[in-house]
Copies of this chain bind each other. A is one copy, B any other.
Amino acid sequence: MSSSPIKLAIVGVGKIVRDQHLPSIASNPCFSLEATASRNASVDGVAAFKDIESMLDECALDAVALCMPPQYRFTAAKLALESGKHVLLEKPPGATVSEVERLHALATEHQVSLYTTWHSRYGAAVATAKAMLADLELQSVALSWKEDVRKWHPGQEWIWQAGGLGVFDPGVNGISILTECLLQQAFVSKADLSFPENRAAPIAARVIFKTCDGIEIDGDFDWRQQDGEAWNIDFTTDKGVMQIRDGGAALRFNGEEVSVPGHTEHGEYHAIYQRFAEIIELGISDVDLRPLKLVADAFLLAQRHSTEAFYE
């Protein structure tokens, strides 16, 4: 690693930044948090700016982490890359596939690192599940990603707006684990999306994916779950059912708990910042758009259904 820490700034200071990014950065000697840019929020003891333009003008920075809603991510990322900063993108990496592909080209052009993070891939069970799957013959997959939107996204108006992804905002986490673990590429074969009659984004979705060899993946996404969360992927194989549970934190095989590496409190985001430091050191980008492409393909192929209005 470089001898002096990477001078980092965060753009968009919300719940995920306070809960995950700040403790992960604080505990990582590779980074020093120099500034934030956010319309309404700031972090104690760190230089605060209202927008990224003034922050880039006034601060000496090496890298920025962009954590605002995806609809506003491209302009900020472009500015940062063109200013020679390394860029970390919270998930989903942007509002569209094409814009993130353009950012990738810009990063290459300006010789800086771009990182499209998918935090759920660093869940404690994921690497073990992937390794086990390599020795099994996969027959079918069932993905359930269900939670109560009122509990998990209170007051988040942007997720309901056009481009806000709706139930795929959490659902893409499951898809990111799926694409990480599968040995074959999956793509969308059929999609049914349910839009509340007063909202521009889906509250529920059923997506049938298929792998190239015809293995079916039944994806069930729902924001109307009342009794606890279901963030699980069941892989049915020749030797039995392997279950990734709790959003990637736990693993079972034929109903028995499988031991996975211990996980610290901020394990996923700690791993993300380790990887960010690593790609900066290596001088490469880490851009994987498969999860977002699959969501875009689901919208492209979807049969749309209108459902009960949603009021928070």
Chain A interfacial positions (CB closer than 8 Å to B):
74, 78, 95-99, 101-102, 105-106, 162-163, 165, 185-188, 190-191, 195, 200, 212, 290, 293-297, 299-304, 306
Chain B contacts for A299, CB-based, 8 A: 296, 299-300, 302
Asked if B187 and A290 make an inter-chain contact with CB atoms under 8 angstroms apart, the answer reads no
Chain B residues whose CB sits within 8 angstroms of the CB of A200 once the complex forms: 303-304
Which residues of chain B come closer than 8 Å to A191, judged between CB atoms?
Answer: 162
Q: What residues of chain B lie closer than 8 Å to A106, measured between beta carbons?
A: 212
Q: When the two chains form their complex, are residues A97 and B303 in contact, meaning their CB atoms are under 8 A apart?
A: no
22 contacts between A and B (CB under 8 A): A96-B188, A96-B297, A96-B300, A96-B301, A97-B97, A98-B186, A98-B294, A98-B297, A102-B185, A102-B212, A105-B185, A162-B190, A162-B301, A162-B303, A163-B301, A195-B304, A295-B300, A296-B299, A296-B300, A299-B299, A299-B300, A299-B302
List the number of copies, as a whole number: 2
B98 near A293: Cβ-Cβ < 8 Å: yes
Contact A95 B296 (CB under 8 A): no
Please name all residues of chain B whose beta carbon is closer than 8 Å to the beta carbon of A74 when the two chains form the complex: 187
Q: Which of A97, A295, A300 has the most CB of B within 10 A?
A: A300
Q: Which residue of B lies closest to A297 (CB)?
A: B96
Q: Which 3 A-B pairs have the closest CB atoms?
A: A96-B297, A98-B187, A162-B303
A100 to chain B: closest CB distance in Å? 9
- Measured between alpha carbons, how far is A101 from B301 in the docked complex, in Å? 16
Supposing A78-B212, A212-B102 touch, asked if A97 and B302 sit within 8 A by C-beta, the answer is: no
B187 touches A102 (CB 8 A): yes
Shortest C-beta distance, A169 to chain B (Å), equals: 12
**What chain B residues lie within 8 Å of A290 (beta carbons)?**
98
Residues of B within 8 A of A162 (CB): 190-191, 301-303
Task: For the complex, give the distance between the alpha carbons of A77 and B162 in Å.
Answer: 34
Residues of B within 8 A of A303 (CB): 162, 200
CA of A296 to CA of B295, assembled, Å: 9
